[in-house]
């Protein structure tokens, strides 16, 4: 399973990449692999606000559906509309193809997230 | 010998031996003693087929049917002609003894007829996507209301008082479960009060539900209603429609409906004392993924052959569980097949003919009925196959006299619309002949 | 067998007709004189034009692509694919049952009302409950109804805190879906290693916010919840009610009754336990039975008797309202009642005995090749956790597809979710020992192929008209109707 170095991770298999006061969020390689061929991504709307651990999007495959949860509190500033026409992009490269860009509400919450090392260990042990 | 159980005592013995136990009772040892039913069920002993037939036939003979009585009763269930091919096809046991088509490779028959049915419903209603059916017209309205709340994220539903009263009851029961507010828009002169609709619409309204032809048989002005409803950007228009009326009326899709639902019983499904019937639902492409229930899609197999499969299953309960668009599992299976066969049998010209003759028969009955002035029309609006009249005689007196002449009279409106005290709603379909209608009129005339 | 691959729209030819009405003897009027033009559709309807021969051939050819219980063994777990008796079809088609309008005066339908009343009584006796509502259209609908009753019960007591329903992780998907549809939140509790309700988990989940627990017994693994009395006591002590999902009732007819186990509300699936046809997906029927404490909340109307007269009762003090139009799936109930009459008190008990015997026999024959827990008594179904071999490339899906090549409908796959590579098998009582022996032989052959020739499994099925459909494509680019 691919795990990129400079990202934050959650136990629900989301990744987060900080960009100033904003961040990109997506799902990890493990997540896309478990889901199988992704057929649809349900995106939130720009300006929607969510709390940490709230579901803000959903990813569907033929036989399964998964909610995607916020790693931190935030407001949606951009959604990756390419995913609407080509949901398979998440299978092709789940790290390059982010799902949303948010404005982080509380930067201190980043400390509560896993590092890439933590996540790798988590994959080995739990899963 | 017990019916439908193949294993003989000898088979049983061999099977017990294989497992290594002495009696079947040991297989029930996991049931705690103090819970077991230690007596016989208080039911009849097993019967032979002849006895079952005798008993059931006796029960059936205690009912008068629409073959004994001339039916002028509608109010949500109709006596339309059912072509003989319908029953011959729905009684093929390859269709009716099969299960939900989860294993697509051996269910192409079922999957294809559902795909064809979806197409027919879309073409009939003028919408983009239909599902494989819901239980009936009432629950279809409730599911549509839930859909609208889910799509708009609002929690108020407006519904016209001219929608079938039973459908409104189902809607209220369902909406109460999810804390959705149901507000009824008043009726005036037999149609939705448009001023009241304008006043009640607000930014918290998820949808407005209207039926056309409505419960009184009157054709609502959907164009005007659509304009009003869509002044609110997000509010959805849900229309419930009689599929036979679409043989001559403009489609709800062409009039701007967002969700179309209806009762499909008139499409080749017998009356059966109220069920099973057929709910249909169709939407615009934008809302496709919020549809409840099963949907069949076209695809290819590994050899590139066209094939059909249940799709968008991620919406459904067996995958999404508590986040499913609905809890619905079973659809209406063979009734869906019946409706598809009915529609292709009548075809382009047949459905139009049925709708036209139905309209002509109903309007003939209406004009004859109000001729003498003993029965007055309740409303003065264009109608399809049902109309309401009133008089100074109580409906049950009228209907009892009609029953004496083997006529099944109309529906008494007072229970649902107390303001129309002696009102009776008559339904006339293509099955009614001039002689039958003339007899109805003559008996009615004799009552007053 | 001809390979048939036409859509009905592709058969359409202008001018073909299958149907015409008689010439009316009523003076013909132009439609525009009767209905204002602005409402009328002047264009041709978008429906096909076919002859009767076209139609019959089309559907007969479609039916040949289908597999039903009448074709062969259908061991779908949790579905109870038992034989659908033909006398039931004949009875449902009697004029006196088929052609009655639901709004006819009660005195003209006493036979129908008597049937409904007697069915109500019979189902109460079988379930140990006090009164039925026959209104729900299917199992899931019955669940929704039962949950609505539970909600009304608490609301009526002024207790609005109870917003949660407990559901085991082994439950059928409709359970949590129905709970949410009924406006509850769900709490999922884990099962023990054995697959039964974990009592400690249950205790931890119970509180004064819990409205009830939904349970299937035997559960979806085919195991009887031995601690049911303790479970019932715990839930009731916490102030909740107990809901019985009757999908697995085929295992316990005449042996034990949900009412005696402590359940307050139950639903039956007439299209499972009571032999009515599955119909390619429906129609079903899901009558709900309740104990006295819930009778005042039942949907209106119920069917009652006064001397010799049967009538519809709308006078239910705190009724939840209506769950659907009219009275329920009468046509299905006619079939179910004929079945109950035919089987009778002794026959129904035999049904469960043989259903359970058949399941245990088949499990015994397969346990050396497929993963099954040791020394277990099953009820009417059992769940294999995939093939016993170490080969993890051969999945349950492959086994299922290979079974198609041998002319069998596979068991239920990948359910319940708590069993890895689940193959849930329910033979039912209407199968013979020979059928089970033949099926077991094929399953064993497949297990051997998994070792010697896994490719043949991975590429199965080989003999069906279509093979390994591209479901991803169907979901990514949905084509949901014929465009021409």
SS (H, E, C) C361-396: HHHHHHCCCECCCCCCCCCCCEEEECECCCCCCCCH
Is the pLDDT at B58 greater than 80, yes or no? yes
d(CA B413, CA B427): 13
Q: Take residue B444 and report the two structure tokens written for it.
A: 């009615």
Report chain A residues touching chain C, CB-CB < 8 A: 37, 39-40, 60-63, 87-88
> Which distant-in-sequence residues (6+ apart) come within 8 Å of B182 by Cβ?
B157, B159, B168, B171, B172, B175
d(CA B303, CA B353): 43
Is C144 in contact with C182 (CB distance < 8 Å)?
yes
Question: Mean pLDDT in chain C?
Answer: 94
Q: What is the pLDDT of residue C157?
A: 95
Residues of chain A contacting C472 with CB distance shorter than 8 Å: 37, 39, 61-62
Is the pLDDT at B316 greater than 80, yes or no? no
- Give residue C420's pLDDT band: very low, low, confident or very high (50, 70, 90): confident
- Give residue C1's pLDDT band: very low, low, confident or very high (50, 70, 90): low
Q: Please give the torsion angle defined by the CA atoms of residues B225, B226, B232 and B236, in that order, rounded to the nearest 10 degrees.
A: 110
Q: Choose the mutation target among B102, B152, B314 for the interface with A, i.e. most A CBs under 10 Å.
A: B314
d(CA B64, CA B83): 22
d(CA B229, CA B200): 10
> Which distant-in-sequence residues (6+ apart) come within 8 Å of A77 by Cβ?
A22, A46, A101, A102, A103
d(CA C457, CA C387): 12
Cβ–Cβ below 8 Å for A62 and C414 = no
Cβ–Cβ below 8 Å for A65 and B289 = no
Residue of chain B with shortest Cα separation from A42 = B289
CA B159 to chain centre: 18
Is C445 in contact with C402 (CB distance < 8 Å)?
no
Is the pLDDT at C92 greater than 70, yes or no? yes
Of the candidates C261, C322, C364, the beta carbon closest to that of B169 is on C322
- Give residue B75's pLDDT band: very low, low, confident or very high (50, 70, 90): very high
Residues of chain A contacting B289 with CB distance shorter than 8 Å: 40, 42
Q: pTM of the entire structure?
A: 0.94
Is the pLDDT at C274 greater than 70, yes or no? yes
Q: What is the pLDDT of residue C325?
A: 93
- Give residue A127's pLDDT band: very low, low, confident or very high (50, 70, 90): low
d(CA B118, CA B129): 7
For residues B259-280, average pLDDT: 97
Q: What is the pLDDT of residue C392?
A: 67
Cα–Cα distances (Å) from B426 to B95, B216, B379, C379, in that order, read: 36, 9, 13, 54
For residues B336-365, average pLDDT: 97
Q: Choose the mutation target among C116, C165, C279 for the interface with B, i.e. most B CBs under 10 Å.
A: C279
Is A80 in contact with A43 (CB distance < 8 Å)?
yes
Tens digit of pLDDT for each residue in B371-425? 999 999 999 999 999 999 999 999 999 999 999 999 999 999 999 999 999 999 9
Nearest to C192 by CA among C219, C165, C211: C219
Helix B9-19 to helix C433-452 angle, to the nearest 10 degrees? 40
Of the candidates B164, B249, B433, the beta carbon closest to that of C40 is on B249
What are the φ and ψ backbone dihedral angles of B173, each rounded to 5 degrees? -60, -50
- Give residue B321's pLDDT band: very low, low, confident or very high (50, 70, 90): confident
Residue C317 DSSP class: T
Tens digit of pLDDT for each residue in C341-352? 999 999 999 999
Cβ–Cβ below 8 Å for B344 and C466 = no
Q: Is C475 on the interface with A (CB under 8 A)?
A: yes
Q: What is the pLDDT of residue A111?
A: 93
Residues of chain C contacting A39 with CB distance shorter than 8 Å: 472, 475-476
Helix B395-404 to helix B434-447 angle, to the nearest 10 degrees? 130
Cβ–Cβ below 8 Å for B350 and C18 = yes
- Give residue B328's pLDDT band: very low, low, confident or very high (50, 70, 90): confident
Beta bridge partners of A102: A23, A76
> Which distant-in-sequence residues (6+ apart) come within 8 Å of B291 by Cβ?
B129, B131, B147, B281, B283, B312, B315, B325
Across B307-316, B388-397, C213-222, the highest mean pLDDT is recorded for B388-397
For residues C227-248, average pLDDT: 96
Is the pLDDT at C390 greater than 70, yes or no? no
Cβ–Cβ below 8 Å for B333 and C34 = no
Strands, DSSP E only, in A22-118? 22-27, 38-42, 49-50, 55-61, 65-69, 74-79, 100-104
Q: Is C45 helix (H, G, I), strand (E, B) or coil?
A: coil
Q: How far is A69 from chain B (nearest CA, A)?
A: 15
Residues of chain B contacting C275 with CB distance shorter than 8 Å: 4
Residues of chain C contacting A63 with CB distance shorter than 8 Å: 414, 471
Q: Is B28 on the interface with C (CB under 8 A)?
A: yes
Count the Cβ atoms, other than its own, within 10 Å of residue C390: 6
Q: What is the pLDDT of residue A62?
A: 80
Strands, DSSP E only, in B123-213? 129-130, 156-160, 181-185, 187-188, 191-192, 205-211
Count the Cβ atoms, other than its own, within 10 Å of residue C478: 21
Q: What is the pLDDT of residue C416?
A: 83
d(CA B331, CA B322): 19
Count the Cβ atoms, other than its own, within 10 Å of residue B377: 16
Beta bridge partners of B376: B390
Q: Take residue A31 and report the two structure tokens written for it.
A: 């997540």
Q: What is the pLDDT of residue C100?
A: 98
Q: What is the pLDDT of residue B388?
A: 98
Residues of chain A contacting B314 with CB distance shorter than 8 Å: 39-40, 60-65
Tens digit of pLDDT for each residue in C29-43? 899 999 999 999 999
Q: Is C476 on the interface with B (CB under 8 A)?
A: no
> Which distant-in-sequence residues (6+ apart) come within 8 Å of C107 by Cβ?
none
Q: What is the pLDDT of residue C391?
A: 63
For residues C45-60, average pLDDT: 97
- C78 Ramachandran zone, left/alpha/beta (phi>0; psi -120 to 50): left
> Which distant-in-sequence residues (6+ apart) come within 8 Å of C434 by Cβ?
none
ipTM over 0.90 threshold: yes
Q: What is the pLDDT of residue C2?
A: 65
Q: What is the pLDDT of residue C173?
A: 82
Is C404 in contact with C463 (CB distance < 8 Å)?
yes
Residue C15 DSSP class: T
Is A50 in contact with A74 (CB distance < 8 Å)?
yes
Residue C325 DSSP class: S
> Which distant-in-sequence residues (6+ apart) come within 8 Å of B305 by Cβ?
C5, C465, C466
Cα–Cα distances (Å) from A89 to A8, A41, B442, in that order, read: 21, 10, 73
Q: Is A62 on the interface with B (CB under 8 A)?
A: yes
- Give residue C3's pLDDT band: very low, low, confident or very high (50, 70, 90): confident
Tens digit of pLDDT for each residue in C175-197? 999 999 999 999 999 989 888 99
d(CA C349, CA C34): 62
d(CA B294, CA B328): 9
Is the pLDDT at A63 greater than 90, yes or no? no
d(CA C33, CA B359): 11
Is C451 in contact with C391 (CB distance < 8 Å)?
yes
For residues C315-340, average pLDDT: 97
Q: What is the pLDDT of residue C195?
A: 83
The CA angle C429-C434-C439, to the nearest 5 degrees, is 85
Least confident interval from B27-36, B59-68, B98-107, B429-438: B98-107
d(CA C127, CA C228): 15
Q: What is the pLDDT of residue B65?
A: 98
Is the pLDDT at C418 greater than 90, yes or no? no
Q: Is C431 helix (H, G, I), strand (E, B) or coil?
A: coil
Nearest to C330 by CA among C131, C115, C140: C115
Q: Is A54 on the interface with B (CB under 8 A)?
A: no
């Amino acid at each position: 399973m691919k795990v990129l170095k400079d990202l934050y991770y959650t136990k629900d298999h989301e990744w987060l990449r900080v960009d100033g006061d904003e961040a990109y969020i997506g799902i990890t390689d493990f997540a896309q692999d478990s889901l199988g061929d992704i057929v649809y991504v349900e995106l939130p709307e720009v300006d929607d606000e969510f709390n940490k651990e709230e579901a803000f999007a959903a990813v569907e495959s033929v036989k399964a559906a998964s909610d995607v949860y916020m790693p931190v509190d935030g407001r949606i500033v951009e959604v990756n509309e390419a995913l609407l026409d080509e949901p398979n992009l998440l299978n092709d490269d789940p790290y390059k193809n982010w799902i949303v860009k948010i404005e982080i509400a509380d930067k201190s919450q980043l400390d509560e997230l896993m590092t890439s090392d933590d996540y790798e260990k988590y994959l080995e042990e739990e899963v | 010998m017990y019916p439908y159980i193949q294993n003989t005592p000898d088979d049983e013995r061999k099977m017990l031996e294989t497992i290594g136990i002495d009696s079947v009772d040991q297989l029930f040892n996991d049931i705690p003693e103090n819970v077991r039913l230690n007596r016989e069920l208080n039911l009849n002993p097993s019967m032979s087929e002849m006895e079952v037939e005798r008993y059931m036939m006796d029960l059936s003979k205690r009912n008068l049917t629409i073959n004994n009585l001339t039916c002028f009763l509608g109010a949500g269930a109709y006596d339309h002609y059912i072509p003989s091919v319908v029953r011959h096809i729905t009684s093929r046991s390859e269709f009716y003894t099969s299960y939900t088509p989860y294993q697509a490779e051996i269910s192409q028959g079922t999957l294809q007829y559902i795909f064809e049915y979806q197409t027919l419903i879309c073409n009939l209603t003028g919408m983009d996507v239909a599902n494989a059916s819901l239980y009936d017209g009432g629950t279809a309205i409730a599911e549509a209301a839930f859909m609208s709340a889910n799509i708009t994220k609002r929690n108020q539903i407006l519904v016209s008082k001219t929608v079938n009263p039973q459908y409104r009851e189902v809607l209220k029961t369902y909406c109460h479960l999810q804390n959705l507010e149901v507000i009824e828009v008043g009726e005036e002169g037999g149609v939705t009060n448009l001023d009241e609709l304008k006043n009640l619409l607000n930014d918290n309204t998820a949808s407005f539900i209207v039926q056309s032809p409505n419960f009184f048989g009157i054709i609502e002005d959907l164009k005007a209603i659509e304009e009003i409803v869509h002044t609110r950007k997000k509010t959805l228009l849900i229309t419930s429609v009689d599929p036979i009326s679409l043989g001559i009326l403009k489609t709800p899709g062409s009039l701007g409906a967002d969700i179309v639902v209806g009762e499909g019983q008139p499409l080749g499904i017998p009356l059966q004392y109220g069920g099973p019937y057929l709910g249909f639902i169709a939407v615009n492409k934008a809302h496709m993924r919020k549809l409840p229930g099963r949907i069949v899609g076209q695809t290819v197999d590994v050899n590139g052959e066209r094939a059909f499969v249940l799709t968008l299953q991620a919406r459904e309960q067996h995958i999404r569980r508590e986040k499913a668009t609905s809890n619905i599992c079973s659809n209406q299976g063979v009734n869906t097949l019946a409706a598809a066969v009915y529609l292709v049998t009548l075809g382009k010209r047949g459905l139009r003919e049925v709708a036209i003759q139905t309209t002509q028969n109903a309007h003939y009955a209406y004009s004859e009925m109000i001729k003498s002035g003993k029965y007055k029309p309740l409303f003065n609006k264009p109608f399809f196959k049902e109309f309401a009249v009133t008089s100074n005689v109580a409906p049950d007196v009228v209907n009892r006299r009609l029953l004496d002449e083997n006529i099944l009279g109309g529906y008494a409106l007072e229970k649902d619309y107390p303001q129309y005290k002696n009102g009776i709603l008559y339904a006339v379909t293509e099955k009614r002949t001039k002689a039958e209608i003339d007899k109805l009129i003559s008996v009615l005339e004799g009552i007053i | 067998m001809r390979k048939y691959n036409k859509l009905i729209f592709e058969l359409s030819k202008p001018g073909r007709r299958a149907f015409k009405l008689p010439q009316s003897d009523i003076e013909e009027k132009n439609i525009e004189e009767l209905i204002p033009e602005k409402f009328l559709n002047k264009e041709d309807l978008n429906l096909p034009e076919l002859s009767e021969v076209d139609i019959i051939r089309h559907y007969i050819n479609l039916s040949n692509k289908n597999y039903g219980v009448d074709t062969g063994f259908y061991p779908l777990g949790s579905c109870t694919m038992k034989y659908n008796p033909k006398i039931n079809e004949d009875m449902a088609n009697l004029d006196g049952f088929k052609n009655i309008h639901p709004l006819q005066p009660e005195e003209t339908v006493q036979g129908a009302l008597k049937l409904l009343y007697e069915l109500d009584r019979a189902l109460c006796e079988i379930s140990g409950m006090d009164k039925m509502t026959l209104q729900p259209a299917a199992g899931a609908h019955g669940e929704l109804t039962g949950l609505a009753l539970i909600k009304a019960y608490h609301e009526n007591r002024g207790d609005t805190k109870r917003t949660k329903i407990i559901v085991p992780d082994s439950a059928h998907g409709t359970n949590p879906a129905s709970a949410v549809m009924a406006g509850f939140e769900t709490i999922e509790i884990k099962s023990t290693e054995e697959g039964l309700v974990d009592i400690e988990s249950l205790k931890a989940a119970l509180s004064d916010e819990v409205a009830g627990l939904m349970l299937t017994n035997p559960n979806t693994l085919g195991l009887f919840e031995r601690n049911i009395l303790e479970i019932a006591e715990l839930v009731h002590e916490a102030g909740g009610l107990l809901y019985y999902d009757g999908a697995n009732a085929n295992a316990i007819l005449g042996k034990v009754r949900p009412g005696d186990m402590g359940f307050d509300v139950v639903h039956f699936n007439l299209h499972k336990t009571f032999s009515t046809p599955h119909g390619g997906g429906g129609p079903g029927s899901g009558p709900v039975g309740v104990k006295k404490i819930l009778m005042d909340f039942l949907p209106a109307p119920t069917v009652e008797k006064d001397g010799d007269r049967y009538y519809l009762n709308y006078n239910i003090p705190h009724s939840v309202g209506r769950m659907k139009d009219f009275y329920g799936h009468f046509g299905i109930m006619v079939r179910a009642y004929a079945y109950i009459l035919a089987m009778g008190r002794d026959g129904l008990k035999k049904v469960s005995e043989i259903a359970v015997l058949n399941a245990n026999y088949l499990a015994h024959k397969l346990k050396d090749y497929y993963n099954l827990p040791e020394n277990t008594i099953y009820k009417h179904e059992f769940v294999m956790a995939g093939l016993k071999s170490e080969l993890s490339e051969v999945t349950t899906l492959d086994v299922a597809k290979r079974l198609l090549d041998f002319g069998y409908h596979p068991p239920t796959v990948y359910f319940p979710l708590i069993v890895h590579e689940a193959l849930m098998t329910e033979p039912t009582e209407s199968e013979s020992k020979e059928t089970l022996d033949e099926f077991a032989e094929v399953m064993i052959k497949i297990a051997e192929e998994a070792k010697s020739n896994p490719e043949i499994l991975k590429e199965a099925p080989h003999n069906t008209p279509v093979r390994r459909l591209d479901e991803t494509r169907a979901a990514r680019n949905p084509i949901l109707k014929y465009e021409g």
